[in-house]
Chains A and B, each alone.
Chain A
Amino acid sequence: MTEKTAEAILESVEFNEDGYMVDPNAWTPQIAEAIARQEGIAELTEDHWKIIEFCRQRASESGAAPTLRQITSGTGISTKELFSLFPKGPAKKVAKIAGLGKPEGCV
């Protein structure tokens, strides 16, 4: 996918002020790839997808994007690996790419 098509794909997608998709049902794998590029992840590998799918599954059950701890204990992937797959803040980054809201791990 070129930079241009990523932009074109995202043009019709609605985001909130924090950069999360407004409607998780409007999400498609192409949109995920396009957001990932914007977030500095050039290509989504099998490991990325495993996590994205887990997060979407989890969110459809609970209504909220999972926290870091929920992702690591749910997928068996270590926090370290998670940070190398989704650098900086993985919980937020995956939530963005998976078309979910901001993870509310904190109150």
Chain B
Amino acid sequence: MKTLLILGAGTAGTMVANKMAQHLDPVEWKIIVVDQEETHYYQPGFLFIPFGIYRPNDVVKPKRDFLPRNVEFVLSPIDLIEPDENRVRLAKDNRVIDYDYLVIATGTQIHPEETAGLKDNGWHENVFDFYTLEGATALSRFLKFWKGGHMVLNVVEMPIKCPVAPLEFLFLADWFFHQRGMRDEVDITFATPLPGAFTKPRAAAMLGDMLNRKHINLQADFNAMEVDHEKGVLRSYDEREVPFDLLVTIPTNMGAEVIGRSGMGDELNFVPTHKHTLQSEKWENVWVIGDATNLPTSKAGSVAHFMLDVLVENMLRHMEGLEPLPKFDGHANCFIESGFEKGILIDFNYDVEPLPGKYPLPGLGPFSLLKESAANHWGKMTFRWIYWNVLLKGGDMPFESQMSMAGKWN
């Protein structure tokens, strides 16, 4: 009997388990999935929690419910991966699992301790993240009673998962304070290491313009060095100081520590991965998907979904002794919630930046690319249902894995 071992049962690992269970003969193959958490978090929902749009209950479900019955689910921290021995060591009962194929889907986590003073004091008192359920929930409690002042949103360093989430947070914050009749009481600043609002030029110009119209100040090229609690400022390496009463931070994002411990990662513990096949650059029976890769595309659930078919096909080909196909093009597709029940949609890949147009049906939509619309907002809100009911189970979506130029204009 052969073993396919999947590390991580988040968005990507769960999808892979479902797809591979459909393809592999259970007489020949055993599929094992390991994760340290019992709960599956719908992370895109964390964005809405600070503003009371979602509650914690809306974004959690048991992981086991989304895994096929013939897959063994092991609840344990992963201690060490030994790819030269085709072996993984778990913390629970010191269990050792030998594998024939390994899929790494351990995602990325935030590391506030990487920035001086960020986690010292004030953490979850007037300094919050919203990339964890605890952070988002603590922030919702804070915002309920906040009287206003300087709110600063800081991205410490790139890359981060869901690179549009900080912008969405700002747009929603602007809407939220408007709704409460206190927008004049709040001064909003966005401090980012990027040279502008976003990474890709066309989208950056459009989104930068939106920040302007919403009176959100931009501190670009801002590399955060430390939080000075005494003075109440965030300080950059080039000695700029931004005062805050409320600091919302996207701390340094890193791949799982076990990747670093096992000597399999880069300087941020992301796994060097073949850009188009999703095979590990070093071990041919190791495959990588989702946020855990070092690939230069967005770290997003939609990207993990576009990777899925390529990864599954290539692993199946490899099992038959065939060459993997270079089919992954870096396709990413992100709804950007822009407040006041509107949203923007962007669609891009390794080579083509986000362009205006209609999606997924050329000329028809219903979604508009690089433009605000109400349909885009409803797309975003429907995504939660699709996530739990279609996406995680590896079901078919009306989108192609590879990006298409149809319906777009330059």
- Enumerate chain A interface residues (CB-CB to B < 8 A): 67-70, 73-74, 79-80, 83, 87-89, 104-107
Q: What is the number of contacts between chain A and chain B, taking CB atoms within 8 Å?
A: 39
Q: Do A69 and B298 touch (CB < 8 A)?
A: no
Q: Which residue of B lies closest to A107 (CB)?
A: B296
Q: Do A70 and B159 touch (CB < 8 A)?
A: no
Q: Shortest Cβ distance from B250 into chain A, in angstroms?
A: 13
Q: Do B267 and A68 touch (CB < 8 A)?
A: no
In the bound complex, what is the Cα–Cα distance between A70 and B194 (angstroms)? 16
Q: Shortest Cβ distance from A13 into chain B, in angstroms?
A: 23
Other 4 A-B pairs with CB < 8 A, given A70-B267, A73-B267, A107-B163: A74-B267, A87-B238, A106-B193, A107-B296
Chain B: interface secondary structure?
loop
In the bound complex, what is the Cα–Cα distance between A73 and B237 (angstroms)? 17
Q: Range of interface residues on chain B?
A: 10 to 19
In the bound complex, what is the Cα–Cα distance between A93 and B238 (angstroms)? 14
In the bound complex, what is the Cα–Cα distance between A79 and B159 (angstroms)? 17
Contacts of B159 in A (CB 8 A): 105-107
Q: Do A69 and B268 touch (CB < 8 A)?
A: yes
Contacts of A89 in B (CB 8 A): 221, 223
Q: Do B237 and A79 touch (CB < 8 A)?
A: yes
Contacts of B193 in A (CB 8 A): 106
Q: Do A104 and B296 touch (CB < 8 A)?
A: yes
Q: Shortest Cβ distance from B332 into chain A, in angstroms?
A: 8
Q: Shortest Cβ distance from A63 into chain B, in angstroms?
A: 11
What 1/0 mask marks residues of chain B from 216 to 254 whose CB sits below 8 Å from any chain A CB?
000001010100000000000110000000000000000
B157, CB-defined interface residue at 8 Å: yes
In the bound complex, what is the Cα–Cα distance between A68 and B267 (angstroms)? 11
Known contacts A79-B225, A80-B237, A83-B238, A106 near B163 by CB under 8 Å: yes
Q: Shortest Cβ distance from A59 into chain B, in angstroms?
A: 15
Q: Shortest Cβ distance from A21 into chain B, in angstroms?
A: 19
Q: Which residue of B lies closest to A73 (CB)?
A: B267
B297, CB-defined interface residue at 8 Å: yes
Contacts of A87 in B (CB 8 A): 238
